[in-house]
Amino acid sequence: MIAKRDQLGAQIAELLETMEIVAPVRERGRVYFRAVRSPDDIAWDYGTSVNSIKEFFLPPRQVLFCYTSGGFKPVSAVPEKPRVIFLARPCDARALNIMDKVFLGDRPDETYAALREHATIVGLACDRPDQHCFCTSVGGSPAGTEGMDAILIPTGDGSYDVKILSDKGRAIFPDVPGDDSTVPDEFVQKAEAAIRRHITVPDNIRDSFASDYWREVSETCLKCGLCSHLCPTCHCFDIVEEGDCRVRCWDYCQSDTFTRIAAGHDHRAEKFSRCRNRVYHKFDYYPENFGVVACVGCGRCARHCPVNNGIADLVNGVDAR
């Protein structure tokens, strides 16, 4: 079914009465996923967003429970209102499926599971990749539907072809017939051809563990957490005490405190070892543990790196050695 932007906007306005709507919004010339107050806030024609939708499932700060002299006080992770995330790109939606491997495995993480359960993902097929996007090199597609409950396929002139992919998606779009959930071949081919960046993920990345390559490519790295914080699949966290509460917050493997252990020893003290670890976690350990590369090719790490050093180049270069 084809829906116009203002039709969808009217529907979002209605949903806002009972649900939280998260969508891309423009702030200072850049696009961020934020909870919106009105469909007018939405940046429908965005290309890429600075943040991914990860933070709505693994919040930067999540209170797990509190304790006072009165005793233990559990904190519910269930959001006050069910949440719909609109216009998530295929790379970001697919990243959720990849994080699920960790958080919804044998021992599901209660808070993550609750946030996943109460969220519906309405994706937006991608016709606006930039020079840093390389989703097709890591098993994704700009027309992919993994991790989505419904997908909007832009047909030009501010209209979208709406496809339903799950019961949750049906609940948002009850009027859309559900017999056709495939993205048209024509769109897929055109969208995939528009991805200009291609990388080679080597099968034998482990062989390069002791290579000087890692020292060379990490020289200018600042060991900041920008790439990890914007990455849709980076999910390492720290558990800290704040006041009366135990809190889970984002942590990052480049940080000086990430691998510091009792007595002050740091088994990844040098910059190259941290840089290598970030690449290996995504391209070696994760595939070994879960059968999938933990990178969706969204390009954020390269696009926003303070010193213009992205993971695509780090991985691509290994093979050249």
Residues that bind other proteins (CB under 8 A): 27-28, 30, 50-51, 60-61, 131-132, 197, 218-220, 222-226, 228-230, 238, 240-242, 247, 249-252, 255-257, 260, 270-272, 302, 304, 306-310, 312-313, 316-317
CB of 281 to other proteins, least distance (A): 18
Residue 2, CA distances (Å) to 142, 170, 267 in order: 20, 15, 55
Phi, psi of 290 (to 5 degrees): -125, 0
Q: Which is nearer to other proteins, 152 or 199 (CB)?
A: 199
CB of 165 to other proteins, least distance (A): 30
CB of 228 to other proteins, least distance (A): 8
Compute how many other C-beta atoms are within 10 angstroms of the C-beta atom of residue 256.
10
Q: Which is nearer to other proteins, 1 or 75 (CB)?
A: 75
Tell me how long the chain is: 321
Phi, psi of 314 (to 5 degrees): -65, -45
Q: Which is nearer to other proteins, 181 or 273 (CB)?
A: 273
CB of 278 to other proteins, least distance (A): 14
What is the Cα–Cα distance from 50 to 305, expressed in whole angstroms?
12
What is the Cα–Cα distance from 3 to 159, expressed in whole angstroms?
6
What is the DSSP annotation of 252-264? -TTSTTTTB-GGG
CB of 55 to other proteins, least distance (A): 9
CB of 208 to other proteins, least distance (A): 16
Asked whether 75 and 66 are in contact (CB, 8 A), the reply is yes
Q: Which is nearer to other proteins, 33 or 160 (CB)?
A: 33
Q: Which is nearer to other proteins, 180 or 270 (CB)?
A: 270
Q: Which is nearer to other proteins, 190 or 198 (CB)?
A: 198
H runs (alpha helix) in 61-203: 90-103, 110-117, 167-172, 185-193
